[in-house]
């Protein structure tokens, strides 16, 4: 890279870092400044400006605060006291943020329940929240009713909208509640930034969700951090289609707009067909993404408004390099801000200069001031590798390892608040890493760093598997498959095969009319090393995802390559016919008996 280009890159990185640190530097665990105070300051400064637009209705900052105050007084009237929790089981709607904003004003935590959950997973999330009250609406009330018998304690159901049976009418109850702010000292007392503001649940892609404890300072880090990193202004309008129960949509995006005087254009859910029409009509200047959302956009048919917009930036996480390049060129998006950060974790990083594919950058001159490191990792044991001295070994340039973050409870940026479950919290802590007695948060993500400090996501631990003595990254294989003609989405995982060491690669694909299985075989043979080539292909009409567009693999792994467990067509990579061949029950039996060598 030429000197001028390198200097320009470093200057852009430095400017983004400086903006972000300026916003977060005053956050401290012992402070009595809470996330609701941040929002109230924004209200006082921008009271008459538009805050949130949803389904044709817009509320100003002042009106948003009034809604929040009603919920604060409602909670006090119900005898819900400081330190207790209310469960919020709603889809995206205008009141969502004002509800938890109001509850924090009186020291009450809010458990943000995934509105897509049903059955055992929903009951589990409600039970571990510890809440005695749950707020629902017409969309979510039936699911709540269905799990009443699975709840560990009686939980009052408060409904926004029409009510029946023993459901309580929240809309009516709120009418008698004051719009004025509750007295700060009476309501909150000695509450501090280290106290819990929210519970945000992990996606549950590999099991039951865990409740990550989000204290006030972590909520501030999310909201202030993105106000700084995006360079948000009061003239910005952010298009927000991600679920509000998730940190990226519910904190990062909302903070970027609502701490700066900007506004949120909120949608109930993402729609490929409505996306560009909404962005253009609402004059949006930014949108927030999860990587797969962007893949849906680039896979869609051209839209007349897809370049007729005022966008200056897209920001989010999980954007694959191939989709990134297509999105920027096709939709004329001036800037992409990719970031990395786990909801409950203490590792965060930003790719301020837009280097395609990188999730962030830690240049050498910054390394001593950043808590993140990448350590060598054993795929088989799923544990970091330790040297003769019992300590972990840091990866060199280009080596793949687990990203970890040093825990410092005195620093808001590097503390680890953990989960509601103490045992689950301890599993995420790695001890005696680089010196005896130190403690580091395990991200559970495999990464590699290049010589310039750029960091690239490789895979989730547990998703990477060994085949033919080599480590196979499901994310990297999926990215290769997604570039094949006719492949819309690729979900890759490993499946055990009797008599074989490790796991064979399998890919669940959604495809269009251009897909040809013979062409896929040719591409796989040409572009992938033998150990990375999927042994099995499963064609699905639709890939199952979580509410935040993460692929669910647990059921696919359980089905394996057994054709009797699904109506989806399954193909296997035949060594005799040199191609992917439809898997029949007879062939499946031969594979199990070792009659066919993979």
Cα–Cα distance, 99 to 249 (Å, whole number)? 16
Helix axis angle for 216-229 and 35-46, nearest 10°, is: 40
Q: Give Dmax over CA atoms of the chain in angstroms.
A: 77
**The pLDDT value given to residue 545:** 66
**Tokens 């280097």, residue located:** 355
Per-residue confidence (pLDDT) for residue 321, from 0 to 100? 87
Strand ranges inside 55-190, DSSP E: 57-60, 85-88, 109-112, 133-137, 156-160, 168-169
β strands within 336-453, DSSP E: 336-341, 348-351, 360-361, 372-378, 383-384, 401-406, 429-431, 439-449
pLDDT tens digits in sequence order for the chain, 598 residues long: 688 888 888 899 999 999 999 999 999 888 999 999 999 999 999 999 999 999 999 999 999 999 999 999 999 999 999 999 999 999 999 999 999 999 999 999 999 998 988 888 899 999 999 999 999 999 999 999 999 999 999 999 999 988 877 779 999 999 999 999 999 888 888 899 999 999 999 765 445 788 999 999 999 999 999 999 999 999 999 999 999 999 999 999 999 999 999 999 999 999 999 999 999 999 999 999 988 789 889 989 999 999 999 999 999 998 988 889 999 999 999 999 999 987 778 899 999 999 999 999 999 989 988 999 999 998 878 899 999 999 999 999 999 999 999 998 777 677 787 777 777 788 889 999 999 999 999 998 899 999 999 999 887 787 878 787 677 888 888 888 988 999 998 999 999 888 776 789 999 999 998 899 999 999 998 888 788 899 999 999 887 766 656 667 777 888 999 999 999 999 999 888 889 999 999 999 988 888 787 7
Residues 6+ apart with CB under 8 A from 475: 320, 457, 458, 459, 460, 463, 492
Tokens of 146: 């269905």
If one counts every other C-beta atom within 10 angstroms of the C-beta of residue 465, the result is: 22
Residue 32 has what DSSP assignment? S
- What is the residue-wise DSSP string for 501-540? SS-EEEEEEEE-TT--HHHHHHHHHHHS-GGGS-SEEEE-
Tokens standing for residue 480: 């290769």
- What are the tens digits of pLDDT across the range 515-542? 999 999 999 988 887 888 999 999 998 8
The two three-digit tokens of residue 595, written as one number: 């009659």
So what's the pLDDT on residue 549?
61
CB-side neighbour CA atoms (13 Å) of 207: 4
Those residues whose C-beta lies under 8 Å from the C-beta of residue 396, and which sit 6 or more positions away, are: none
Please list, in sequence order, all residues whose beta carbon lies within 8 angstroms of the beta carbon of residue 514, skipping any fewer than 6 positions away. Answer: 485, 486
Whole-number pLDDT of residue 69 = 98
Q: Contact at 8 Å (CB) between 126 and 147?
A: yes
Which residues make Cβ contacts (< 8 Å) with residue 265, sequence separation at least 6?
A: 53, 237, 238, 239, 240, 278, 282, 284
Taking the C-alpha atoms of residue 552 and residue 544, their distance in angstroms, rounded to an integer, is 6
**Nearest alpha-carbon partner for 315 in 343, 348, 295, 286:** 286
Ordered alpha helix ranges (H), 444-492: 474-482
pTM: 0.82
* Alpha-carbon span 526 to 506, nearest angstrom: 18
pLDDT tens for each residue of 33-62? 999 999 999 999 999 999 999 999 999 999
Read off the tokens for 161. Answer: 């909208």
The runs of H, that is alpha helices, within 148-215 are 170-175, 184-188
Q: Work out whether strand 360-361 and strand 348-351 pair parallel, antiparallel, or are unpaired.
A: unpaired
């Amino acid at each position: 890279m030429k000197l001028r280009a390198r200097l320009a890159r470093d200057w852009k990185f430095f400017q983004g870092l400086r903006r972000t640190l300026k916003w977060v530097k005053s956050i401290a665990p012992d402070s009595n400044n809470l996330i609701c105070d941040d929002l109230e300051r924004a209200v006082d400064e921008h009271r008459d400006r538009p805050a949130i637009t949803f389904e044709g209705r817009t509320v100003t900052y002042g009106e948003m605060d009034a809604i929040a105050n009603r919920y604060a007084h409602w909670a006090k009237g119900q005898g819900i006291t400081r330190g207790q929790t209310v469960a919020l089981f709603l889809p995206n709607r205008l009141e969502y943020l004002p509800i938890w904003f109001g509850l924090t004003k009186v020291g009450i935590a809010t458990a943000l329940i995934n509105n897509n959950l049903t059955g055992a997973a929903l009951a589990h999330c409600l039970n571990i929240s510890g809440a005695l009250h749950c707020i629902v609406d017409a969309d979510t009330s039936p699911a709540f009713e269905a799990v009443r018998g699975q709840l560990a304690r009686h939980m009052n159901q408060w409904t926004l909208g029409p009510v029946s049976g023993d459901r309580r009418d929240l809309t009516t109850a709120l009418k008698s509640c004051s719009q004025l702010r509750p007295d700060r000292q009476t309501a909150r007392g000695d509450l501090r930034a280290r106290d819990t503001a929210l519970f945000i649940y992990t996606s549950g892609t590999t099991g039951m969700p865990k409740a990550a404890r989000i204290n006030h300072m972590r909520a501030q880090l999310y909201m202030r951090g993105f106000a700084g990193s995006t360079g948000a202004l009061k003239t910005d309008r952010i298009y927000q289609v991600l679920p509000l129960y998730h940190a990226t949509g519910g904190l990062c995006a909302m903070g970027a707009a609502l701490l700066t005087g900007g506004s949120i254009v909120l949608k109930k859910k993402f729609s490929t067909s409505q996306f560009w029409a909404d962005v253009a009509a609402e004059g949006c200047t930014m949108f927030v993404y999860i990587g797969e959302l962007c893949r849906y956009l680039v896979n869609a048919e051209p839209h007349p408004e897809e370049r007729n917009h005022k966008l200056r930036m897209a920001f989010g996480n999980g954007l694959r390099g191939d989709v990134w390049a297509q999105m920027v060129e096709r939709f004329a998006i001036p800037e992409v801000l990719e970031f990395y950060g786990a909801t409950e974790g203490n590792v965060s990083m930003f790719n301020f200069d837009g280097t395609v594919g990188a999730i962030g950058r830690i240049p050498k001159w910054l390394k001593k001031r950043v808590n993140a490191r990448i350590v060598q990792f054993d795929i088989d044991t799923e544990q970091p590798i330790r040297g003769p001295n019992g300590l972990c070994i840091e990866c060199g340039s280009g080596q793949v390892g687990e990203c970890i973050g040093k825990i410092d409870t005195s620093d808001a940026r590097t503390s680890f608040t953990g989960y509601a479950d103490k045992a689950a919290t301890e599993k995420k802590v790695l001890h005696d890493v680089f010196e005896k007695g130190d403690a580091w948060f395990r991200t559970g993500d495999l990464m590699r760093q290049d010589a310039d400090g750029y960091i690239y996501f490789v895979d989730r631990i547990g998703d990477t598997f060994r085949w033919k003595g080599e480590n196979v990254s499901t994310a990297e294989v999926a990215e290769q498959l997604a570039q094949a003609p006719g492949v819309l989405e690729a979900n890759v995982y490993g499946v055990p095969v009797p008599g074989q060491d490790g796991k064979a690669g399998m890919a669940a694909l959604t495809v269009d009319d251009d897909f040809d299985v013979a062409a896929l075989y040719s591409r796989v043979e040409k572009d992938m090393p033998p150990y990375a080539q999927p042994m099995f292909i499963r064609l699905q009409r639709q890939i199952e995802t979580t509410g935040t567009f993460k692929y669910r693999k647990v059921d696919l792994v359980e089905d394996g390559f057994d054709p009797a467990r699904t109506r989806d067509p399954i193909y296997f990579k035949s060594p005799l016919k040199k191609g992917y061949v439809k898997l029949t029950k007879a062939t499946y039996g031969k594979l199990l008996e070792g009659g066919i060598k993979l």
